Amino acid sequence: MGLSLISLFTFVFLSFLLFFFHLASSRQSFCHDNEHSALLQFKESLAIDKSASYDASAYPKTTHWNLEEDSSDCCSWEGVKCNEDTGYVIELDLSSSCLYGSINSTSTLFNLVHLQWLSIADNDFDGSKIPSAINNLSKLSHLNLSFSVFSGQIPSEMLELSKLESLDLSKNGLLQLQQPGLESLAEKLTNLKVLDLSGVNISSSIPHGLTNLSALEFLFLESCELEGTIPSSLGNLNNLIRLDLSQNNFWGIIPFSFGNLNNLIRLNLFRNNFWGTIPSSFGSLNNLIYLDLSQNNFWGIIPSSLGSLNNLIHLDLSDNNFWGKLHTSI
């Protein structure tokens, strides 16, 4: 009788083990045939050229894609991440992968419709326009196309990616955001927390509608051919941690409302045409560690309120027209 109970216990125990093993096995992610094929075709459409990436440590991540021990499972390939339950590719990181060649809307990259995170930064797409098929990737929350030699007008289809939280198109010197422009972007991509358009030719003023991006934490608009005055409404973006408006054609005074940006850690207004005095409200920016107001036309006495910025590590006020003595608090 005792032996039978032991046998029954052993049988039940082994059954549970087999059940959990089967359950675990069934949850392993194996990529779908169509996505496996799309990735390989995307790889084959581009050449490998070490000079295509700026990063000295760059290397071609796609080299061993079809040479893996289990080449049928693209989820195991470098730079590829799949959803553990569905097996669909949800992340693709081919940044600094020495990829060279043109890309257009027929690229199989845009067949990866489950992507949530995509970076093809620091490659050379040979002056290609950003393909309008980018809107196929409607689930994207993070998109990085920086340092990748794209050119031409940013397509309106990109503004259909309403789930985007991070968009980096920086350091593409021939890229434009004009029709549609910055105002249209601010109307459509309202979930953005990170926006980097540094080096993109915008050639407009900052629209009041930029405050639609109320979740913004990082805003980089360096060298964008921006002009005009800074709207006081910019001070409503009080989640900003970093703000860079350097090397543009802004003029006029800095709005007093900048003092509302009390989460700012870095503020860069270098090389513009701002004039007037530094607003005393800057003394409210208690978290600032970096402040660059150099190469502008500021004048007058440097406000004593800057002396309350106890976390400041970098301060550059050079090449302006200040006068008078520094307050002892500074």
The model's pLDDT over 2-28, given as tens digits with 9 standing for 90+, comes to 545 555 555 555 555 454 444 444 444
The whole-model pTM stands at 0.90
Does 240 map to a domain? yes
Does 14 map to a domain? no
User: How many folded domains does the chain comprise?
Assistant: 1
Q: Which helix (H) or strand (E) holds 252?
A: strand 249-252
Q: Looking at 17-100, which runs of residues are DSSP E strands?
A: 47-48, 80-82, 89-93, 99-100
Does 66 map to a domain? no
Does 100 map to a domain? yes
Does 55 map to a domain? no
Pairing of strands 194-196, 218-220: parallel
Span 231-271, pLDDT tens digits: 999 999 999 999 999 999 999 999 999 999 999 999 999 99
Q: Is 222 exposed, middle or buried (0-12, 13-18, 19+ CB in 10 A)?
A: buried
Dihedral of CA 76/82/88/91: which sign?
negative
Does 298 map to a domain? yes
CATH of the domain at 179: 3.80.10.10
pLDDT in tens, the chain (330 residues): 454 555 555 555 555 545 444 444 444 458 899 999 999 999 999 999 999 999 999 999 999 898 655 567 999 999 999 999 999 999 999 999 999 999 999 999 999 999 999 999 999 999 999 999 999 999 999 999 999 999 999 999 999 999 999 999 999 999 999 999 999 999 999 999 999 999 999 999 999 999 999 999 999 999 999 999 999 999 999 999 999 999 999 999 999 999 999 999 999 999 999 999 999 999 999 999 999 999 999 999 999 999 999 999 999 999 999 999 988 888
Contacts of 230 (CB under 8 A, 6+ apart): 206, 245, 250, 252, 254, 255
Residue 245's domain comprises: 91-322
Torsion, Cα of 244, 185, 206, 149 (10° steps): 50
* Nearest alpha-carbon partner for 96 in 50, 162, 143: 50
pLDDT on residue 72? 74
- Structure token digits, residue 196: 């980097």
